[in-house]
Amino acid sequence: MHPKDRGFTLNKNLIDDGKWLLVMEDVDLLHTSVYTTFEGKKCNAVIATALKTIKMPVEDFKLMKQTLKKEIEELDEEKLTLPKACSNYNIGDLTLKIAGLYYYIPQLFDTETVHDSCQLLFEINDEATESKDAIVTDDGEEDAKTNDGYILGQPFLRAFMIFLDFEINEIGFANKLEDYGAIITSEKRKDIADIKTPDFDDDHVDADQDTIIPEEDPTVNKDVGPDGKPKPNQGMNEKNMIVLISFLSIIGCSLCLLICCCRKKTRG
CATH code for position 92:
2.40.70.10
Same domain, 134 and 241: no
Q: Give the β-pairing of 94-98 and 111-114.
A: unpaired
Same domain, 110 and 161: yes
- Of 185, 212, 239, the residue at which a domain comes to its end is 212
Residue 201's pLDDT is what? 45
DSSP 8-state secondary structure symbol assigned to residue 223: T
Q: What ranges in the chain are assigned the alpha helix state H?
A: 58-71, 107-110, 154-159, 234-267
Q: Is the pTM of this model over 0.75?
A: no
One digit per residue, the tens of pLDDT, for the chain of length 268 reads: 444 444 555 566 555 456 788 889 999 999 899 999 999 999 989 898 889 999 999 999 999 999 999 999 999 999 999 999 999 999 889 999 998 899 999 999 999 999 899 999 999 998 866 555 544 444 445 556 677 899 999 999 999 988 888 787 888 888 888 788 899 888 876 654 444 444 444 444 444 444 444 555 555 565 666 566 666 554 456 667 777 787 788 887 777 777 777 776 666 5
* Cα distance between residue 226 and residue 244, in whole Å: 30
Same domain, 246 and 169: no
Same domain, 189 and 235: no
In a domain, 54, yes or no: yes
Residue 228's pLDDT is what? 63
In a domain, 107, yes or no: yes
* Cα distance between residue 23 and residue 192, in whole Å: 25
In a domain, 221, yes or no: no
In a domain, 223, yes or no: no
Partners of 136 in beta bridges: 142
**Which residues are within 8 A (CB) of 168 and not within 5 positions of it... i.e. 6 or more apart?**
none
In a domain, 220, yes or no: no
Same domain, 28 and 136: yes
Same domain, 117 and 236: no
Same domain, 200 and 258: no
In a domain, 219, yes or no: no
Same domain, 243 and 129: no
Same domain, 190 and 257: no
Same domain, 238 and 120: no
Residue 259's pLDDT is what? 77
Same domain, 152 and 251: no
Contact 173, 156 (CB under 8 A): no
Same domain, 106 and 236: no
Q: Domain count for the chain, please give it.
A: 2
* Cα distance between residue 239 and residue 245, in whole Å: 10
Q: Which domain holds residue 118?
A: 3-212
**Which residues are within 8 A (CB) of 92 and not within 5 positions of it... i.e. 6 or more apart?**
29, 30, 31, 107, 192, 195
Cα R_g (the chain), whole angstroms: 30
- What one-letter code names the amino acid at 56? M
Residue 129's pLDDT is what? 61
* Cα distance between residue 79 and residue 192, in whole Å: 27
